[in-house]
Amino acid sequence: MEIKKLNIIITLGFVAIIGILIAQLLWTRQAYHLEDQKFNQKVNIALMEVVEKLSGGDSTFTENPVQNIANDYYLVSINKEIHPTILEYYLKTEFTRFQIHTDYVYALYNCHNDRMIYGKYVSSAQKNSKTKVIKFPKHKNLVYYFSIRFPDKNTYLISSLKFWYLLTFALIIILLVYVYSIYTIIQQRKFSELQRDFINNMTHEFKTPLSSILLASESLSKQQLVLENSKLQTYTSIITNQSLKLNSHIEKILNIAKNEASGLQLKPQKIFLLPFIEDIAGTVLQKNENVSIRLDIDPSISIMADEFHFANIVYNIVDNSIKYCESDPQIHISSISDSKGLHLMFKDNGIGIPAKNIPYIFDKFYRINTFKSEEVNGFGLGLFYVKKIVQQHHWKISVENNADHGITTRLSFSS
C-alpha cells in the first residue's frame, strides 16, 4: 500500500511539474508574439511619423504608406525625393522616442538613375554608423520610397523577454532535480528492501541451527557424565551462554529489520522512573556482582513511554557502561529538571569515547575500533536501536565524556 501511494505521489508530482513547464513554455511563446506585435506597432507608428515630417505635414496618401513586407522588412512610400541624411535624422529621432533600441538598415531609392542606392547600417550600441553596400530590389509600383530592415529583431525580442526565459530555464532545472531525486529515492528504496530481505533470510537461516545447538546443549547439560565433570559443565555452560547471546543478537537484528519495514508501534503509558529503573538495576546486579549502581531519582517523577522499549533503552545504556569499563563498573543514574524539561543522566567510570567518534556512535553497525571493542561481542546495533526509540518518543539523547573517566549519557524528555 505504501509503495502504491509513493508511486501515485511521484506520478502526480511529475505530471504537475510537466504541466507547469508546458504552461510556462506556452506563456513564453505568447509573450514573444505579443512583444512582436508591440514592436511592429511601434515601428509602424514611428515610420508614419517619419513620413509626416518628410512630407512637411502635406501627406496625401490614399492608403497606409508603411507596408510590412516581411517579419523584419518594411517599405515606406513618400511623396517627394529626400536626402538620406534627413531621412536618417528622422529615423533616429522617432525610434528613440518610441524606444526602439535595436540595429537597423535603411536604403533610399533614387528615381534619377532608377536604382536603389546605399543607405546606412545604424547600430544602437555605437555612435557612428557602419558603412555598407546593401542591395535592395526596386519596388515596381513605387517611385519615391525608402526601405528599412531590422536584422537583429529576433535577438532584440528575446532579450526583452529575459525574465520569461530565465523562469523557464529554472523550471527545467527543477524538473531535472525532481527526476534525479525520485531516481535516487527509488534506488535507495530498492537497496533498503534488498538489505532487509538479506538480513531476514540470513537471520532466519541462523536461527534453525542455533535452536538445535541450544536444545543439544540443554540436553547435554543434564547428562550424568557432564554433571559429574566440572570441566564438561563449564564447556557446556559456555556453549549455552554464547548460543543465547548469539540468539539475542539475531533477535535484535530481526526486530530492527521489522521495525524499519513497518514502523515501531509504541504503546505509551505512565511510568514512575524510580521504581521502574530500580527493577532494571536489580536484574543487572543479579547477573553482575561487581557492578555498583547508585540511583538519585525523585520518586514523584513520571513519564509517558512505551514500557517495553523504554526498558530496552535503559538496559542498553547500563549494559554498555558495564561492558566498556576496565575496573569495577560504577554507574550513577540521576534525574534533573530545568527550564528545558526533564533529564535522566547515566554517568559511568568506563573508558570513555574519543571526541571524534561521538557523533557516529548512534549509526547502524558503527563500532569504535579500540582494544575493548574487540573484546566485546556485538554488531553495533544497540545504540542505533536506542536512538530510534528515542526519536519515536520525540525525546533527545546525547553523550559526552566526563572530566575524569567514563561518559555521561543524557536522556531529555519533552515537556
Mean per-residue pLDDT of the chain: 78
Residue 85: CB atoms within 10 Å: 8
403: amino acid identity, one letter: A
The answer to pTM > 0.85 is: no
In tens, the pLDDT along 285-341 reads 877 778 899 999 988 999 998 888 888 889 889 988 888 888 888 999 999 988 888
Is the CB of residue 295 less than 8 Å from the CB of residue 333?
Answer: yes
Phi-psi region of 380 (alpha: psi -120 to 50; beta: other; left: phi over 0): left
Rounded CA separation 304/272 (Å): 9
What ranges in 263-331 are assigned the alpha helix state H?
273-287, 307-323
β pairing state of 292-296 and 330-338: parallel
The sheet carrying 73-77 orders its strands as 66-70, 73-77, 145-149, 104-110, 115-122
Digit-by-digit pLDDT tens for the chain (415 residues) are 456 676 777 778 778 878 877 887 788 788 888 888 888 888 888 888 888 887 776 656 667 788 888 878 888 877 677 777 788 888 888 888 888 888 888 877 765 555 666 567 777 665 544 455 445 555 555 666 778 888 888 887 777 777 777 877 887 888 788 778 877 877 777 777 776 676 666 666 777 777 778 788 888 888 888 788 888 888 888 888 778 777 776 776 666 666 655 556 778 899 999 999 998 888 888 777 788 999 999 889 999 988 888 888 898 899 888 888 888 889 999 999 888 889 999 999 888 888 888 888 888 777 776 655 555 555 667 788 888 888 888 899 999 998 888 899 999 987 6
β pairing state of 66-70 and 396-401: unpaired
Is the CB of residue 268 less than 8 Å from the CB of residue 304?
Answer: yes
| Predicted pLDDT of residue 311 | 87
